[in-house]
Structure 1
């Protein structure tokens, strides 16, 4: 599989899993934050919609706070587009988070780096 396809697959996988994490699904929760963040580079960094800068460690610390907190959460990815080289991929996509009452839309850009057969999240920029 080419790097662009792998990166797209990773966005889809992570969004499905983070939705399961928010809902508190047993299999996803059992894997813990390490399982959820398995394809994140140790150098991962992001800019949240509010402009806050976060690291992988910040994300790891936040994850237990939201485990099972939104039992009806659905996370949908649309409009995924991208470009890839032999070692990197850049994707843009829209992420829609809906808990049945409220909807949160994030417009995201993500940079991935190749690590063996995997594409690892390196940078993520989200805006509302």
Structure 2
């Protein structure tokens, strides 16, 4: 499978796992934060929709607070587009989060780096 397809699959996989994490699914809880973030580079960094900058360490500390916090959360990813080289992928996509309290739409740009057969999240910028 080519890098672009792998990165697109990773975005979909991660958001499925993230929705399960928010709902408190048994498999999500069993995998733990390490399982959820297994495809993130140690050098990962992100900028949230409100401009907060975070590292993988920050994300690892924050994720346990969200386990089961939104029991009816649904996340849909659409409009995934991107460009790939032999070692990097740049993707843009739209993420729609919805639960009984309402929803929000995020527009994201993500950079992935190749690590063997995996594509690792390196950089993520989200905006509303």
TM-score, normalised with respect to structure 1:
0.99
Counterpart mapping for 1:20-35 below 5 A: 20-35=20-35
State the partner residue of 2:120: 120
Counterpart mapping for 1:31-42 below 5 A: 31-42=31-42
TM-score, normalised with respect to structure 2:
0.99
Post-superposition Cα deviations, 1:56-81, rounded to whole Å, max 9, x if no partner, equal 01101110111000000001001100
State the partner residue of 1:13: 13
State the partner residue of 1:70: 70
State the partner residue of 1:93: 93
Shift of 1:100: 2.9
Where 2:68 maps in the other structure, the secondary structure is: coil
Where 1:28 maps in the other structure, the secondary structure is: helix
RMSD of aligned Cα (Å)? 0.5
State the partner residue of 2:54: 54
Distance 2:93 2:49 in 1: 14
Distance 1:46 1:113 in 2: 15
